[in-house]
C-alpha cells in the first residue's frame, strides 16, 4: 500500500516558496542550474555515484567499470550549419560518456515529437543520428517515441543516454586537479553557441559559422594513452562554456586556475560575431571540444599527440592550476591585467543544445 506523500515533510536545502517558478536560467548550466541540481536533485536522490556531479556516473558492476550518462536535446533551431539535433544528440552523449575516460558503446534514444512534425524532417534527423553513431562506433540499441499534441512541445526533443566501458585505472575527475597541472583545450571555442545564435537571430557573417558538433572520444583515448596517470580531468565545455567548466573544476578540486587570453583559440568569424553581439566566448557552448587537465610532466606529449588528430589540430595549452584556496578562475588579459572569470549566473543562450 502506498502512503500519501507530503513533500513538506522533506526540507530540501533549496529554499522554495509557493510562488517560485522555473526560469530559463535554471537550464543554463550556470549558478542557478547548479543550485537546482545540487540542492534539489542530488539532495533527494543522494548516492555516491550522483554526488560527484560529473557529466557521467561511474558504475561498478561486478569487476567492470562503466560510464553512464544522459542528456536531453531541445536545441532551437533543429537544423543549423554543421549539424542538426540528431547528430548533436549522438555526439553530445558520446562525449559525456567519454569524459570518464570511457569507450562509448551503446546509446538509447527517446523522442518526444510534436503532433504535425514533418516526417521528412524526422527522417533527416534519424539518418543524421545513424551516421553520427556509426562514425563514433556506438550502437543505438533501445528507444522510445512519444507524441504530444500540437502546441504542447516544440517540433522535436531527443534524449540520449549512453554506456561506455572504462578500461583505465587512473583517478580522473573534476576533483582531481593539482597545482601546476596544465590546461589544454582541444580546439577553437564558442563555435556551436555562436552558430545557433546567428541562425536563430538571422545574422549572417562573411564566413558562415558552423557548429563544432563532433565526437571527441578518440581524443580522450589518445590523451589517456600518452598521458597515463598524469591525466587528471576531462570535460566537454557545453552549456556555460569554458568558464563554467573551469569554475566547476576549481570548486571541486579546491584550487585556483589561471588562463591567458592570448592563448584562447577563437576563430576569426566567431571573434567578430562575439564583438558585435557583446558576448564573451569563454561563456559560449561548445559541442565538439574537450578540456583536459594534465600534470606538467606529460602535457607537451599529450598536446602533440592531440594535434595529430583532425579534431585536435588546434589544441593549445590555455593556462595552469594554482595552489589558491580562493577557488577563483583568473584571466590574464593581453594587456597583462587580470580579471576574474565568474561562474555564469544569468541566462546567455537558452536552448543551445
Q: Between 108 and 338, whose beta carbon lies closer to a copy of itself?
A: 108
Helix axes 119-136, 85-98, angle to 10 degrees: 30
Beta carbons within 10 angstroms of residue 21's beta carbon: 5
- From the CB of 311, what's the least distance to a copy of itself, in Å? 11
Residue found under cell 513538506: 8
Rule CB under 8 A: say whether 227 interacts with a copy of itself: no
Q: Does residue 278 contact residue 219 with C-beta atoms inside 8 Å?
A: no
Q: Between 219 and 302, whose beta carbon lies closer to a copy of itself?
A: 219
- From the CB of 345, what's the least distance to a copy of itself, in Å? 15
Q: What is the DSSP string of 279-302?
A: --GGGS--SS--EEEE-HHHHHHH
Q: Does residue 67 contact residue 97 with C-beta atoms inside 8 Å?
A: yes
Rule CB under 8 A: say whether 334 interacts with a copy of itself: no
Rule CB under 8 A: say whether 262 interacts with a copy of itself: no
Rule CB under 8 A: say whether 172 interacts with a copy of itself: no
- From the CB of 153, what's the least distance to a copy of itself, in Å? 6
Out of 30, 80, 83, 331, the residue judged to bind a copy of itself by CB under 8 A = 83
Residue found under cell 562509448: 104
Upper half-sphere CA count for residue 206 (Cβ side, 13 Å): 4
Would you give the DSSP letter of residue 171?
A: -
Residues 17-76 that bind a copy of itself (CB under 8 A): 18, 20-28, 33, 36-37, 40-41, 44-45, 47, 49-50, 55-57, 59, 61-62, 64, 66, 68-74, 76
Out of 13, 77, 137, 144, the residue judged to bind a copy of itself by CB under 8 A = 144
Q: In what order do the strands lie in the sheet with 338-340?
A: 231-235, 291-294, 182-185, 316-322, 256-260, 329-332, 338-340
The piece of 130-138, 268-276, 315-323, 335-343 that touches a copy of itself (CB under 8 A) is: 130-138
Site size for a copy of itself, by CB under 8 A? 94
Residues 101-120 that bind a copy of itself (CB under 8 A): 105-106, 108-120
Amino acid at each position: 500500500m502506498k502512503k500519501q506523500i507530503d513533500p513538506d515533510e522533506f526540507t530540501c536545502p533549496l529554499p522554495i516558496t509557493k510562488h517560485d517558478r522555473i526560469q530559463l536560467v535554471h537550464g543554463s548550466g550556470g549558478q542557478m542550474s547548479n543550485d537546482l541540481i545540487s540542492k534539489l536533485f542530488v539532495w533527494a536522490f543522494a548516492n555516491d555515484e550522483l554526488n560527484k556531479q560529473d557529466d557521467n556516473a561511474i558504475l561498478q558492476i561486478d569487476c567492470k567499470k562503466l560510464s553512464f550518462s544522459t542528456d536531453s536535446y531541445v536545441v532551437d533551431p533543429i537544423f543549423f550549419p554543421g549539424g542538426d539535433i540528431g547528430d548533436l544528440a549522438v555526439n553530445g552523449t558520446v562525449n559525456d560518456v567519454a569524459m570518464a575516460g570511457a569507450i562509448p558503446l551503446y546509446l538509447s534514444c527517446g523522442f518526444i515529437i510534436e503532433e504535425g512534425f514533418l516526417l521528412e524532417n524526422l527522417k533527416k534527423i534519424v539518418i543524421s543520428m545513424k551516421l553520427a553513431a556509426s562514425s563514433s562506433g556506438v550502437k543505438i540499441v533501445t528507444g522510445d517515441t512519444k507524441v504530444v499534441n500540437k502546441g504542447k512541445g516544440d517540433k522535436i526533443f531527443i534524449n540520449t543516454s549512453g554506456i561506455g566501458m572504462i578500461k583505465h585505472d587512473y583517478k580522473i575527475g573534476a576533483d582531481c586537479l593539482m597545482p601546476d597541472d596544465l590546461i589544454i583545450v582541444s580546439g577553437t571555442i564558442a563555435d556551436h553557441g555562436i552558430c545557433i545564435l546567428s541562425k536563430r537571430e538571422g545574422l549572417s557573417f562573411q564566413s558562415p559559422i558552423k557548429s563544432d558538433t563532433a565526437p571527441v572520444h578518440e581524443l580522450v583515448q589518445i590523451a589517456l594513452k600518452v598521458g597515463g596517470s598524469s591525466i587528471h580531468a576531462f570535460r566537454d565545455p557545453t552549456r556555460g562554456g569554458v568558464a563554467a567548466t573551469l569554475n566547476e573544476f576549481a570548486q571541486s578540486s579546491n584550487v585556483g586556475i589561471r588562463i591567458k587570453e592570448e592563448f584562447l583559440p577563437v576563430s576569426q568569424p566567431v571573434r567578430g560575431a562575439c564583438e558585435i553581439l557583446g558576448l564573451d566566448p569563454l561563456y559560449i557552448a561548445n559541442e565538439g571540444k574537450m578540456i583536459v587537465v594534465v600534470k606538467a610532466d606529460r602535457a607537451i606529449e599529450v598536446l602533440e599527440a592531440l594535434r595529430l588528430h583532425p579534431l585536435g589540430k588546434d589544441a593549445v595549452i590555455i593556462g595552469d592550476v594554482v595552489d589558491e584556496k580562493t577557488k577563483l578562475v583568473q584571466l590574464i588579459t593581453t594587456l597583462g591585467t587580470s580579471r576574474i572569470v565568474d561562474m555564469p549566473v544569468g541566462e546567455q543562450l537558452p536552448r543551445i543544445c
